[in-house]
A and B are shown apart, each in its own frame.
Chain A
Amino acid sequence: MLEYLWIVPLLPLLGSAVNGLFGAKWPNKIVNLAAIGSTGLSFLGALEAVREFFDYFAQNHQAFHKPFFTWIAAGNFRAGFDLQMDQLTVVMVLVVTGVGWLIHIYATGYMAHEGGYYRFFSYLNLFMFFMLILVLAANYVLLFVGWEGVGLSSYLLIGFYFLKKSAADAGKKAFIVNRIGDFGFMLGMFLLFKTFGTLDFVQLFARADPWPAETMGHLGTFTIACLLLFMGACGKSAQLPLYVWLPDAMEGPTPVSALIHAATMVTAGVYVVARSHILFAHSETAMLAVAIIGCATAFFAATIGLVQTDIKKVLAYSTVSQLGYMFLACGVGAFSAGIFHLMTHAFFKALLFLAAGSVIHAMGGEQDMNRMGGLSKKIRWTYLTMLTATLAIAGFPPFAGFFSKDSILLSAFQNEYGGRKVGYTLYAFGLATALLTAFYMFRLIFLAFKGKPRYDEHKVHVHESTKSMLVPLVILAVLSTVGGWLAAPAFLPGGTDYFTRFLQPVFGGVEVGGTEIEAHSLEITLAIVAVITALAGWAFAYWMYIRQRGRADELAKSLKPAYTTLLNKYYVDELYAAVVVRPLLWISTNVLWKTADVAGIDGAVNGIAEGATTIGDGVRHVQSGNTRSYAVWVVVGAIVIIAVILFWPATGKPVLGLVH
């Protein structure tokens, strides 16, 4: 299978093509077969490829790399359809195909009554194809193909209900904001190619490795290239200041939010940073920038998440916040911690979204948490799985999020870039974010599932979802629980931080946090602090939403300016509209459209046409229809020619082409 690695991404593409071309006339069952079958086979293929990779690695101790064909060859530039597999790819491929497959299964239940069923699965499979290309690519160019492809699928799926204007607008917003980041990404690629003469991961990193590292504040090649790549990552992974598209992306169907806007696509930025870790490790400035942006985004998005009432919006801001955590981990050099959080986050955030989808399904399309309440008994399975995911994301042991978040916070605490104080600040904000996370997640649970029903019980018939939706929920709940044990820190009985060791061949050289931590006491202290923080978040939410109902509203009233600011998401959308969108529209309308296009280009074209008409109008009188006047013109012409020949033979030669 490893030799035929291309089959893994090709299967979803086939599924997409088959459903897209013929699905319109097929019943849902056959569409399901093509969609789930292709992704399921792809998952099995990936498993087999991973198994073979372990054998391969045991013998060769290096990443598996295989060129399949040359795609672009120009001068000394070569971009091939080359796939590679190393430990980082293993994690990504299994998460993408595994979680992706579960979400496909879920979607067959969720989308069962929607129009455009085949179209949905065609897009979803197309997304799987591009995402697999992204993670399997062995050079930046092929990675960029996947990168743009997932952006396209994301656009198509956000705008799935394209008759709804808000959905169509959200799709466009996602596409355009991503384009800004992609611009940086491409510039970064150009700079890397110009400097190192290749974009192939293995060669590029081998050539870059011996270069001296750039110190803080030194704007060298590595710093600029990394910051440009990170700009692309900011767009794709919804970091400050390009995060604005992700909350709006919730206009898409919920399985899309789970697969693309929580579990896989938005983590592509983290993947790129981790993949380029050798470059980033050469620049302290870039590392610090990644850490600060990640930390700031984590905190910023978490505060917005506190007051949102739309169940999917809360999860969207939570996703932005958790992605910030991943970048924080990468920025402080703990790449494996970042990738580990990426994995556990894929489990519990996919689960949260799917469970939220199940809630929305049960409520007949209601997304406002103010009109839910008391659902825990009616949709027991959904409640239990969602509670598992909440415990995981809030960082309660022994759920997955505890381990991943803990190792990130530990690495932030030990951060060396930019001095100790920076590390402590990052840690403080990270911890504050953990508190906020626990609070808003339990707020969601309490508002939606506890208390008295706040909807019309006669009108809304709350019902548990079908098996096809519940089974993926349960599997993801199990993964959200046990997934973290892979990286159980060494101070716990039986914990060896297997995950970090597993990724050692990839990140080994640059890992700052490392696996061997001398003092376990620090780790234990920080873990206890983290658990206390999570408990505090839970207790605060419990106090505000269960014990003293109405206290939340009072608090909102007493802190009205802060509350409205948060409710309006810090007015960032308005700010962007005023600073970027409206000036751009003004320039487009007045300068580009009305001046350059209408007056300049159209004016030139129309002017030439009008000139021709005017001249023609004047000259047409020559055509009198009178044969004798024509005769006169013939004679006059002949006389002119003869005169030229006789009197100006020198002019006559070039003008009339006469040869004497």
Chain B
Amino acid sequence: MVPTNYYVILSAILFGLGVFAFIFKRNVITIFMSIELMLNAVNLAFVAFSQALGKLDGQVFVLFVIVVAAAEAAVGLGIIILIARNRQTLNVERVDLLKL
């Protein structure tokens, strides 16, 4: 039996990597993937706690998160395709039309 701590630490590491990539990457698709990474890090934590506490709540949450992530992927990819078409780039630093 793997202790719950290990799962949580792994989850934190994955989440930290996601945050790191979210902040420092410029490619939209990479940023998008880092969000997915964070979501899945959280999923991992949920499942671990669910196992540790012997409750199903965490697993139900995971299913919700997966559904939301799927929907978000659909919308997000749509947005990315439009950005690519209009700006001929995927670099977020050049997508700054809302700047004051």
Contacts and interface: CB of A to CB of B under 8 A. Distances in A.
B22 A635 contact: yes
B99 interface: yes
Given A628-B92, A628-B93, A623 B22 contact: no
A625 B98 contact: yes
A620 interface: yes
Contacts of A628: 23, 26, 92-93
Contacts of B22: 631, 635
A558 interface: no
A621 B19 CA distance: 24
A625 B23 contact: no
Contacts of A631: 22-23, 31
A628 B26 CA distance: 8
Given A628-B92, A628-B93, A623 B100 contact: yes
A60 interface: no
A76 interface: no
A624 interface: yes
A631 B20 CA distance: 10
Nearest to A622: B100
A631 B18 CA distance: 12
B93 A625 contact: no
Given A626-B93, A628-B93, A635 B23 contact: yes
A145 B22 CA distance: 77
Nearest to B22: A631
Interface in B20-72: 22-23, 26, 31
B2 interface: no
A660 to B, nearest CB: 16
A627 interface: yes
A628 B94 CA distance: 11
B100 A627 contact: no
Nearest to B35: A631
B95 interface: yes
A626 B31 CA distance: 14
Interface string B84-100: 00000000110111111
Contact of B96 (A620, A621, A625, A635): A625
B53 to A, nearest CB: 16
A632 interface: yes
Nearest to A636: B23
A632 B23 contact: yes
B46 to A, nearest CB: 17
Contacts of B98: 623, 625
Interface string A629-642: 00110010000000
Given A631-B23, A635-B22, A635-B23, A625 B92 contact: no
| Residue among A620, A625, A628 facing the most chain B CB atoms (10 A cut-off) | A628
A635 B23 CA distance: 8
A635 B15 CA distance: 12
A626 B26 CA distance: 11
B100 A620 contact: yes
B19 A635 contact: yes
Interface string A600-623: 000000000000000000001101
A350 to B, nearest CB: 77
Contacts of A624: 96, 99-100
14 contacts: A620-B100, A623-B100, A624-B96, A624-B99, A624-B100, A625-B100, A626-B96, A626-B99, A627-B96, A628-B23, A628-B26, A631-B22, A632-B23, A635-B23
Given A624-B99, A625-B97, A631-B31, 20 more contacts: A620-B100, A623-B98, A623-B100, A624-B96, A624-B100, A625-B96, A625-B98, A625-B99, A625-B100, A626-B93, A626-B96, A627-B31, A627-B95, A627-B96, A628-B23, A628-B26, A628-B92, A631-B22, A631-B23, A632-B23
Top 3 closest pairs, chain A to chain B, by CB: A625-B99, A625-B96, A625-B98
